[in-house]
Structure 1
């Protein structure tokens, strides 16, 4: 009996590290968030490294990306750290564990994973103003609920629905945290397309830009379109 080889973990379809890929979102009620992947470098051992540029409210930041057998890691500890990096706060990553998006073998209905991010935050410097340091840890547990077709402004996708339980607490022993439940949807060859908390949309995909003119992902409703047959005569 021939046993099929397991699919390679990189590139990870749920967090595509594609050169020049730009995802534009509506963040909150009106802000525009743009995530752009650049400087993609595949390694001989199968891992892939890149940079993720973040633009939000006129502020810019970037973080390192690494794809390996465990999944995709970011230098800012996932979506929470990525958004904080462009929030206007000065942020220092103290510790992070786990992956932002796990390997494809985990991204199936019933799959679970955890990650953790500890940061120190300071408000922007102001003349004569105080700059208190806020030390916070985010612990997240994620579960894949199943597949679902979902429509956002950027299109209709067959996506994976993920439930997150995120606990934020002061970074000191014995401190109690506050937990919050959110839902995320991931589409293959795109990544995150929607995030909601308590029924309110926090993040929604508006458009996907692929400078290299890659074929539109089959996850779009109706799949890939076929070219019309040539007419005779």
Structure 2
């Protein structure tokens, strides 16, 4: 199996990846094909696919922010069981991020991720792919070390369809390199989210209210996932 980075929408593997995203994720979570041009060319955004028998069978997108020494997992796709894709993608992603942190002369502080809560939202079937089942994914990410941010209010994010609608039913989580870490500075969370969603100009009022609430906090506890 090959772990290959995609840096252009003209890469034949990107067409396969985008088709796979459309089969797996709900429409509000998939950026339009042409809008991927700049993100793929951005050196800070890393999109890798797992290639097996000349087919894209898995993928992961993530980012490293050297100023904060944190990462964000945008998505992970596992399209087939029995290939060890989860381990393959997680291992190669962390190896790459540790190298980026090393080049930044530090040790990775941790990684954010948005995780569906199937106990609140049950309609996401992810293309009928059982290994992408939200219950399975949540437990896998818990095993990896992710913890849920205790925001004390509902977490939402702007739709990637850029229609100004909020997307709910998720938790914002963080995987600290130090498993004993009990909280995050609220300023880090707020600054990260502002930067991460800066590409989407149409922010829902629910998101704006959430951001105001985050900026009133000093710290945000990390709870078991």
- TM-score tier by shorter-chain length is 0.3 to 0.5
* TM-score, normalization by structure 2: 0.34
Please identify which structure carries the higher helix content: 2
* TM-score, normalization by structure 1: 0.33
